[in-house]
Amino acid sequence: MSATLRYLGGASEVGRIGAVLEGDNGRLLLDYGLQPDDPPKWPLPAPDVDALLLTHAHLDHCGLVPKIASRGTPIVSTPVTGDLAERMAQDTLRVAEIENYPLPFHKSAISDLVQNHRGIVPGNVEYRGGFEFNVYNAGHIPGAVMYNFPQEDFLFTGDIHTVDTQLTRAAKPHQCKTLAIESTYGGREHPDRVETEKELIDSVEDTVNKGGQVVLPSFGLGRSQELLMLVEKLGVEVWLDGMGRDIARILQKYPGAIRDFGGMNKAFRNTKFVRYARQRKAAMKGDVIVTTSGMLNGGPVLHYLSEIRKNSSSAVFLTGFQVPGTNGHLLKETGKLRLERGDTSPPVDINCQLKSFDLSGHAGHSQIVDFIDKCNPEKVILYHGDNREAFKEDLKDYELVLPQENEHIQIN
């Protein structure tokens, strides 16, 4: 059976992933996300498909899934990803209304997503659009999976992480003839995970012991909960603000999706949740505040940074990649920050301590190469990267494909 893959977005860039897998008897959509820029960027329009297979619930993969669900299309993912995608969709509409962006889908599409969701778990086999498939853990965030198509001998990774974290188990390679794999960190490596976590914990402890406060800007899904698990060990007063608290409640429903479920629950029990804006005053008397947004483009983090920015004893520790053009990138490069979302006034100085820690949920360059080698494919399709050429030398023994958007790639 012949099959082709065509990217609607996220081939030659990081973000707004969408790929159409077409065979003799039907076609599937693999992810359909949006890039949360200002304004958000969408992939190319999606054709009618027999089902949408969702790898995980980050916006650049799931952001436009409700739009597809509103057609009556089945949405396949792990159960936890289905719940998380619903929460992300609610936030997408909220941000669109606040920022006056065009609504990417009607509010009723969220109900369509819930109604048309079909759960799949590792070990089970599904049939949709003429394709047989199953899933393997991808290690990126709770619920993240890779899609395996045995008849085509094809593996589609989504985003992967190949080391254990507080929340997730590492992705394992699987033999395949054709491998489509993310390449976010092409040409870049991560430091040792355990050492980085220790450096972060030591820095937090040092700051608190000297009477300062620590603000940890964080992505609401995955990173927020991971940071709570790390700092819980210190026995200090920790507050969580932003969407991370809703995500925490969802994750508590899925013990099997969490590597250390007991540790996560313990961290949540020892965390104070900011439920109303007026509680932020109380949070400012705590030791550590974990809060959205991770790239400082908006959300409660700007309130907290405006409070501590002149206090040299306090600190802001960045733990995620800061995309060029974001407020977080501005802070890293200049030590200055815009304190209002979309603010046109000059950035202000941030005079508290500033450090960055690499706690990425993606595999680094050599980890991707090692994963590919162990999958032992004939053909490697690199997508979701803006520096894919960096892999050419390391992958010269494979048939290497660096697709552009809307290009048809033969799978078998």
Of the CATH numbers 2.60.40.10, 3.30.590.10, 3.40.50.10890, 3.40.50.410, which one belongs to the domain with range 193-356? 3.40.50.10890
Instruction: Tell whether domain 3-188+361-410 is in CATH 3.40.50.920.
Output: no
Alpha-carbon distances of 10 from 44, 55, 82, 181, 184, rounded to whole Å: 10, 14, 21, 12, 10
Instruction: Write down the pLDDT at residue 342.
Output: 65
Question: DSSP state, 187?
Answer: T
Instruction: Write down the pLDDT at residue 315.
Output: 98
203-216 as b/e: b if 16+ CB within 10 A? bbbebbeeebbbbb
Instruction: Write down the pLDDT at residue 320.
Output: 86
- Residues in the chain predicted with pLDDT less than 70, given as ranges, are 341-343
Instruction: Write down the pLDDT at residue 38.
Output: 78
**What is the distance, to the nearest Å, from the Cα of residue 227 to the centroid of all Cα atoms in its chain?**
15
Instruction: Write down the pLDDT at residue 87.
Output: 97
Angular region, 384: left φ>0, alpha ψ -120 to 50, beta rest: left
Side chain identity, residue 235:
G
The string of pLDDT tens digits covering residues 281-291 is: 999 999 999 99
Phi then psi dihedrals of residue 387, to 5 deg: -140, 50
Instruction: Write down the pLDDT at residue 343.
Output: 65
Side chain identity, residue 208:
V
Instruction: Write down the pLDDT at residue 36.
Output: 84
For the chain, the distance separating the N- and C-terminal CA atoms, rounded to the nearest angstrom, is 8
Domain coordinates of the chain in residue numbers?
A: 3-188+361-410, 193-356
The Cα 375–Cα 367 span in angstroms is 12
Question: DSSP state, 12?
Answer: S
Q: At what angle do helices 79-99 and 244-251 cross, to 10 degrees?
A: 160
Of 184, 217, 190, whose CA–CA distance to 61 is shortest? 184
pTM score, whole prediction: 0.95
